[in-house]
């Protein structure tokens, strides 16, 4: 996840609040251990023996007022928080009735706690580097500076006539990966795909994560015909790259590409829009293919 550098102050405030949330939940876990495993020795019983930390609700309210509220990472964190405390309260209620948790129940709460803290750390790292222009998951450049980079190439093209192309890459049926295997698997696919693309382009070229599973590739000193050859090689490399999941399963993924070449008088947005139109054609042409932008035929 990423956000523009102009939101750096807001990001700093969110990270500071997140540190409080993590500290509160570490203290909560200690209280929960005592109440769940030694309810009588602890002198308290029931879910109130380990009250839910109050700082999280305040933090979420602050996040929802900011520019990053739409990020799915925050929704996932709220879900994990709700699951954690629902499971924790249920365990304490049973312990209060003399039913101490078995290993499976106890471990389930700890696993959910670990997931919650890991998600907090992911958000913390992402916001900490948001202003750096680097996507923390894939290591690609993010949207920060993208327009400036393309504008520089357009200016160079206007001066020298040196061609260049913009291409958009979109992983095919990526939503089904998240839905079927979970978001961790989706992250692994994104990391593997980004690594494949990075290895396949030259040092002078650039790759940007646009958001989600879409990646923009800036191919410098390249004609449209040359870019199509490069992109088809990248497409084949990606299709041949196995992605190993945490449970040992191996996925094969493909991607569609749309390319457009710079022409005189065309601005940044219009050039990227042409690449997007070509990507649309690749998706609707069967996926796992490369398409070049072409003007619509006259009626």
pLDDT at site 44: 59
In the set 52, 213, 261, 291, the catalytic residue is 213
pLDDT at site 4: 38
CATH 1.20.120 fits 5-131, yes or no: yes
Mean pLDDT in residue range 176-202: 93
State how far the Cα of 73 lies from the Cα of 14, in Å rounded to an integer. Answer: 13
Of the candidate ranges 69-73, 80-84, 153-157, the one whose mean pLDDT is the lowest: 69-73
Where do we find the tokens 């890459």? 169
Residue 82 CB coordination number (10 Å):
11
State how far the Cα of 147 lies from the Cα of 164, in Å rounded to an integer. Answer: 15
pLDDT above 70 (res 150): yes
pLDDT at site 46: 59
- pLDDT category, 39, cuts 50, 70, 90? confident
pLDDT at site 1: 39
Q: Average per-residue pLDDT in the chain? A: 87
The pLDDT > 90 percentage for the chain reads 59
- pLDDT category, 161, cuts 50, 70, 90? very high
pLDDT at site 135: 82
β-pairing verdict for 164-171 and 255-261? antiparallel
Tell me how long the chain is. 299
Q: pLDDT tens digits, residue range 254-284?
A: 999 999 999 999 999 999 999 999 999 999 9
Mean pLDDT in residue range 163-180: 96
- Tell me if domain 5-131 and domain 146-292 are identical in fold: no
Give the angle 111-66-142 at the CA atoms, nearest 5°: 75
Mean pLDDT in residue range 41-55: 68
pLDDT at site 70: 60
Q: Is 213 a catalytic residue?
A: yes
Mean pLDDT in residue range 62-76: 72
pLDDT at site 160: 95
pLDDT at site 122: 83
pLDDT above 60 (res 47): no
Classify 211 as helix, strand or coil: strand
- pLDDT category, 298, cuts 50, 70, 90? low
CATH of 146-292, one of 3.30.70.270, 1.10.287.110, 1.20.1260.10, 3.40.50.200: 3.30.70.270
State how far the Cα of 10 lies from the Cα of 143, in Å rounded to an integer. Answer: 18
Of the candidate ranges 43-47, 196-200, 214-218, 291-295, the one whose mean pLDDT is the lowest: 43-47
Helix residue spans in the chain (DSSP H): 8-37, 39-42, 55-64, 72-96, 103-128, 146-160, 174-181, 183-200, 224-239, 268-284
Q: pLDDT tens digits, residue range 72-106?
A: 778 888 899 999 999 999 999 888 888 889 999 99
Per domain, the residue ranges of the chain are 5-131, 146-292
Structure tokens belonging to residue 147: 């327009």
State how far the Cα of 224 lies from the Cα of 184, in Å rounded to an integer. Answer: 36
pLDDT at site 126: 73
Mean pLDDT in residue range 226-235: 98
pLDDT above 70 (res 43): no
- Return phi, psi of residue 255, to 5°: -145, 155
Mean pLDDT in residue range 55-70: 76
């Amino acid at each position: 996840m990423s956000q523009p550098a102009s939101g750096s102050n807001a990001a700093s405030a969110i990270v500071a609040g997140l540190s409080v949330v993590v500290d509160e939940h570490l203290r909560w876990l200690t209280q929960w251990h005592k109440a769940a495993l030694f309810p009588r020795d602890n002198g308290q019983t029931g879910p109130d023996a380990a009250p839910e930390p109050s700082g999280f609700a305040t933090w979420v309210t602050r996040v929802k007022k900011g520019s990053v509220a739409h990020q799915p990472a925050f929704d996932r964190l709220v879900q994990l928080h709700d699951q954690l405390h629902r499971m924790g309260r249920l365990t304490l209620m049973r312990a209060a009735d003399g039913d101490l948790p078995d290993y499976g129940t106890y471990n389930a709460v700890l696993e959910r706690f670990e997931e919650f803290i890991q998600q907090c750390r992911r958000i913390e790292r992402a916001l900490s580097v948001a202003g750096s222009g680097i996507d923390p998951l894939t290591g690609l450049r993010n949207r920060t500076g993208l327009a400036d980079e393309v504008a520089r190439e357009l200016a160079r093209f206007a001066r020298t006539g040196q061609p260049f192309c913009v291409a958009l890459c979109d992983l095919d049926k990526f939503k089904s990966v998240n839905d079927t295997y979970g978001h961790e698997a989706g992250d692994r696919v994104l990391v593997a795909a980004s690594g494949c693309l990075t290895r396949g382009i030259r040092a002078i070229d650039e790759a940007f994560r646009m958001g989600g599973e879409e990646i923009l590739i800036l191919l410098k000193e390249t004609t449209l015909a040359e870019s199509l050859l490069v992109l088809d090689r990248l497409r084949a490399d990606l299709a041949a790259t196995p992605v190993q999941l945490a449970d040992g399963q191996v996925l094969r993924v493909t991607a569609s590409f749309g390319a457009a070449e710079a022409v005189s008088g065309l601005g940044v947005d219009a050039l990227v829009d042409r690449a997007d139109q070509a990507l649309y054609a690749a998706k609707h042409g069967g996926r796992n293919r490369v398409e070049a932008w072409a003007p619509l035929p006259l009626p």
